[in-house]
């Protein structure tokens, strides 16, 4: 089978064919020209776009730079202001520290002063206590001396009275006068109290009657009193209040006679320092705050 192209290649081209080729050539040239124009236009558009884009970028960059510059300036101003504020704050802090230090020093001074005043106050208080103690001792000493002097004076007066009575009796006078309700024996008068009293109450009652709790110095006197004694017991003027076991009569004379119950004085219980005469006439040391129904006073008779 024969190829048609090989048949055409074998023939010479006619004028129609050449004309067609020219037309095709022209058409191809127009097409090329149009493509070139399109490319040029595209290039121009692209260039314009890039130029616009670059312009925009440059504008944005310039504005950004301006903004950054403004921000930088503002930041510098702010930093400067903050720095100034910080410096001022530091200065304030230093001033406050200095003030606090001064206040601390003042406080320490005040505390030291308070401590010194406390010490001084304590010393003054001790001195005052010492002075008060000295004053109390002086008062006590004065009172003791006054009491001793009064006791001595009272004893002297009693001795004088006794001597006076003895003198009057030796001269034949009768010295046996007693107040009403008092009982005479020898040269003394006796009052037999009959109401419940403690020893100290009995003592002051006798004083109010111008007498004192009875002092007994011999057997005759004891026998006389035993005849009139309250059966429940009576306080007498004997006690060991100051020195335990050292009994003293109210007339300050020594214990030259005694009539103790067997086993007495025993200073029993919490201490027995006041003496009572039992119903039997015997003596017993008893608790001074006990109440007894009887108590005996004595005083010198008058002539």
Residues in contact with Ca ion by the rule CB under 5 A: 240, 264, 266-268, 272-273, 284-285
Minimum distance from residue 278 beta carbon to Ca ion (Å): 10
Minimum distance from residue 222 beta carbon to Ca ion (Å): 18
Rounded distance, CA 97 to CA 110, Å?
20
Minimum distance from residue 287 beta carbon to Ca ion (Å): 9
Minimum distance from residue 269 beta carbon to Ca ion (Å): 8
Smaller CB separation from Ca ion, 4 or 269: 269
Cβ–Cβ under 8 Å, residues 290 and 198: yes
Rounded distance, CA 162 to CA 251, Å?
13
Smaller CB separation from Ca ion, 185 or 199: 199
Residue whose C-alpha is closest to residue 180's, from 138, 156, 209, 151 = 209
Smaller CB separation from Ca ion, 272 or 298: 272
Cβ–Cβ under 8 Å, residues 180 and 282: no
Query: How many residues are there in the chain?
Result: 303
Q: Give the residue carrying structure tokens 């009052």.
A: 191
Rounded distance, CA 250 to CA 238, Å?
6
Rounded distance, CA 213 to CA 236, Å?
6
Minimum distance from residue 149 beta carbon to Ca ion (Å): 27
Smaller CB separation from Ca ion, 202 or 301: 202
Smaller CB separation from Ca ion, 273 or 298: 273
Smaller CB separation from Ca ion, 193 or 233: 233
Minimum distance from residue 265 beta carbon to Ca ion (Å): 6
Q: Give the residue carrying structure tokens 């035993």.
A: 226
- Return the structure tokens found at 90: 């530091």
Residue whose C-alpha is closest to residue 271's, from 243, 250, 296 = 243
235: which strand partners?
276, 295
Smaller CB separation from Ca ion, 168 or 198: 198
- Return the structure tokens found at 203: 């003592």
Rounded distance, CA 239 to CA 289, Å?
13
- Return the structure tokens found at 259: 């009539």
> DSSP 3-state assignment of 293?
coil
Minimum distance from residue 204 beta carbon to Ca ion (Å): 21
């Amino acid at each position: 089978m024969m190829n048609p192209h090989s048949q055409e290649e074998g023939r010479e081209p006619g004028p129609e064919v050449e004309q067609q080729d020219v037309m095709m050539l022209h058409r191809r040239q127009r097409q090329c020209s149009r493509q070139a124009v399109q490319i040029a236009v595209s290039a121009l558009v692209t260039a314009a776009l890039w130029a616009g884009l670059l312009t925009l970028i440059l504008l944005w960059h310039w504005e950004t730079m301006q903004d950054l510059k403004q921000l930088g300036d503002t930041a510098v101003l702010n930093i400067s202001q903050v720095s100034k504020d910080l410096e001022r704050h530091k200065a304030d802090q230093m001033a406050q520290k200095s003030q606090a230090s001064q206040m601390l020093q003042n406080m320490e001074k005040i505390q030291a002063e308070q401590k010194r005043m406390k010490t001084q106050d304590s010393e003054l208080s001790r001195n005052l206590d010492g002075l008060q103690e000295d004053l109390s001792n002086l008062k006590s000493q004065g009172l003791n001396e006054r009491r001793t002097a009064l006791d001595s004076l009272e004893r002297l007066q009693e001795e004088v009275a006794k001597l006076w009575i003895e003198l009057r009796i030796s001269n034949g006078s009768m010295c046996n006068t007693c107040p009403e309700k008092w009982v005479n024996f020898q040269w003394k008068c006796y009052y037999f109290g009959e109401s419940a009293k403690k020893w100290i109450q009995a003592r002051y009652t006798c004083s109010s009657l111008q007498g004192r709790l009875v002092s007994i110095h011999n057997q005759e006197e004891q026998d006389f009193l035993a005849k009139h004694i309250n059966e429940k017991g009576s306080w007498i003027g004997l006690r060991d209040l100051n020195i335990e076991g050292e009994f003293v009569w109210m007339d300050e004379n020594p214990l030259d006679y005694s009539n103790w119950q067997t086993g007495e004085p025993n200073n029993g219980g919490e201490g027995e320092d006041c003496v009572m005469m039992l119903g039997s006439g015997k003596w017993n040391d008893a608790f001074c705050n006990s109440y007894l129904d009887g108590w005996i006073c004595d005083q010198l008779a008058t002539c």
